[in-house]
Amino acid sequence: MIRNFYTLLAVMLLSTFTAYTQVNIPMVSNGGPAGAGSWILFQSGNQNTSIQENFGINIYGDAGRPVRIRNTNLMVGYGPNNAPIGNNLFVSGKIGLGTLTPEAKLHIDGNIYALGSESRFSYQSFVDPHSGAAYGIKVGGAGIAVRGKSVFLDNVGIGTTNPQAKLTVEGNILAKEIKVKTDISVPDYVFEPDYKMRSLAEIENYVKEHKHLPEVPSAKEIGEEGLDLAAMNLLLLKKVEELTIILIEKEKESNCMNTKLEKLTSEVKKLQDKIH
| Angle CA 109–111–115, to nearest 5 | 130
pLDDT at 57: 66
Mean pLDDT for each consecutive 10-residue tract of the chain (276 residues)? Answer: 52 51 59 62 63 64 68 75 74 86 89 79 60 67 74 89 92 90 88 92 94 93 90 93 93 92 89 81
Q: What are the extents of the domains in the chain?
A: 1-69, 187-275
Helix (H, G, I), strand (E, B) or coil at 73: coil
Helix (H) or strand (E) holding 53: strand 47-53
Position 195: which residue type? Answer: Y
Return the exposure string of 222-249: e unless at least 16 CB atoms fall within 10 Å of the residue's CB, then b: eeeeeeeeeeeebbeebeebbeeeeeee
CA dist 169 and 128 (Å) reads: 26
CA dist 40 and 97 (Å) reads: 29
Q: State pTM to two decimals.
A: 0.48
pLDDT at 17: 47
Contact partners, residue 79, CB within 8 Å, separation at least 6: 85
